[in-house]
Structure 1
Amino acid sequence: MKMHDTVFVVDDDPAIRDSLSLLLEQEDMTVVSYESAAEFLKNIDALVPRCCAIIDIRMPDIDGLQLQAEIINRGILLPVIFLTGHGDIPMSVRAIKSGAVDFLTKPVSGHTLLESVHVALLESERLFSQAEANHSARSVLESLTDREREVMSLAIEGRSNKEIARQLGISHRTVEIHRARVMHKTGADSLVELVRIAELGTIPS
């Protein structure tokens, strides 16, 4: 377990917060606890590449499902584990369909909880890696000129240089030059790689 693994605990019961902190800190995880969803949302910018949240369902201001919805609405990359003493099947289905890693009911064994946390941390790492790849691809695509983007778009549609030249009203040689520049700027060594970069650059992070 890496020392930078961070778990946010959002629960209005101080005893639960303390017991979870003890369990997780014994696994060399950093634990940051909040007594309410509102308090957590004020500090949400403290995310790190490997993190997750353990959230209670019933809380006085904003309940756990509302908090999950707000996390999604803000585009925050944070895997969520629900831990509640008041859950039911429809609630758990709603939570999982909205992307929760797990829906656990109190009391829960330390082993079961830690298994869910490990899964959530791996998902966090995947999400951050994907976001970094998307951001990198967007930066590369933004470095292209308008004409280079036009040539790239037609190239990844499978158009030949001759077809691209005819559609854009430019010479075959000019298409070759633009296409070479696109490959150089993006670092793509094949059309397949260029398609992957183009797709990543259009995926919201």
Structure 2
Amino acid sequence: MQGTFSAGRSAKTIYVIDDDDFMLEAIKDMLGSLGAEVQLFDSPVTFLQRYSPRPVECVISDIVMPELSGLEMQKKLVQTHLVPPPIVFLTGVSEIAAVVEAMRSGAFDFIEKPVNGYTLVERVNAALAKSVSLHSKRLALAARQARIALLTSKEAEIVELVVAGKPSREISEAQGISIRTVENHRARIMAKLHVTSTVELVRLFL
């Protein structure tokens, strides 16, 4: 099962993943007051195939599911996205070890079953608020990667040596080029990366 409902023209998006259709509908009803677009998935695999980051978002997911567990889904999100969305896990009493693993892997929060509507709305609101700063970070990292992609292979090699703390003389010896050529490369690198000092250059890569 997969369905979508939206309230108004809100930019908030909530993804709900559970293999229990009744639970999906119950959570959708609980979230009705948030004025968000709620997308329902009965399969983590389908969610991963269709997920695309949004400015204000969160994921609500069961931990135990037959095709792919909530923890496995979380790991795939971390592997495939620079900044994954905040995840609120739904857990049973017997799943404490899984909760600990999920939190260590960056889960935003968890809610014990049976789910209390007030608690769910409160935690989801907090996750949505957190996602705003995460999206800003996502945009900054994407911009950083786009600038780095402009570097030639030679410039990338020189950046690596600069970040390692090597002076121009050592870089020239390592690369078999003159110090002046190293300085020219550094100037072009700093222009491409929009930095004005070696400190800023090092900070960009650290």
TM-score, with length taken from structure 1: 0.76
- Corresponding residue for 1:202? none
2:168 equivalent among 158, 161, 171 = 161
- Residue 6 (structure 1) shift: 0.8
- Select between 20-29 and 119-128 the one with higher mean Cα deviation: 119-128
- Residue 8 (structure 1) shift: 0.9
- Select between 61-70 and 92-101 the one with higher mean Cα deviation: 61-70
Checking the alignment, whether the CA contact within 8 Å between 2:91 and 2:99 is kept in structure 1 is: no
Checking the alignment, whether the CA contact within 8 Å between 1:141 and 1:198 is kept in structure 2 is: no
- Counterpart AA for 1:171: S
- Counterpart AA for 2:152: T
How do residues 37-186 of structure 1 correspond to structure 2 at under 5 angstroms?
37-42=44-49, 44-72=50-78, 74-75=80-81, 77-85=84-92, 87-186=94-193
Secondary structure of 1:103's partner? Answer: strand
Unmatched tracts of structure 1, length 5 or more: 200-205
Secondary structure of 2:60's partner? Answer: strand
- Corresponding residue for 2:3? none
Q: 2: distance between equivalents of 1:51 and 1:143?
A: 31
- Counterpart AA for 1:115: E
Secondary structure of 1:143's partner? Answer: coil
Q: 1: distance between equivalents of 2:11 and 2:107?
A: 22
Checking the alignment, whether the CA contact within 8 Å between 1:78 and 1:124 is kept in structure 2 is: yes
State whether structure 2 residue 28 is matched by structure 1 residue 21. yes
Aligned residues: 197
Checking the alignment, whether the CA contact within 8 Å between 1:80 and 1:100 is kept in structure 2 is: yes
- Residue 190 (structure 1) shift: 1.5
- Across the aligned residues of Structure 1 and Structure 2, the Cα RMSD in angstroms comes to 3.0
Checking the alignment, whether the CA contact within 8 Å between 1:87 and 1:105 is kept in structure 2 is: no
**CA distance change for structure 1 residues 183 and 87 in 2, over 3 Å: closer, same or farther?**
same
Checking the alignment, whether the CA contact within 8 Å between 1:137 and 1:198 is kept in structure 2 is: no
Q: 1: distance between equivalents of 2:14 and 2:72?
A: 19
- Counterpart AA for 2:100: V
- Residue 127 (structure 1) shift: 4.0
- Residue 32 (structure 1) shift: 0.7
Secondary structure of 1:189's partner? Answer: coil
- Counterpart AA for 1:94: E
State whether structure 2 residue 46 is matched by structure 1 residue 6. no
1:33 equivalent among 33, 37, 40 = 40
Checking the alignment, whether the CA contact within 8 Å between 1:57 and 1:63 is kept in structure 2 is: yes
- Residue 38 (structure 1) shift: 4.3
- Residue 22 (structure 1) shift: 2.9
- Residue 70 (structure 1) shift: 4.3
Unmatched tracts of structure 2, length 5 or more: 1-8
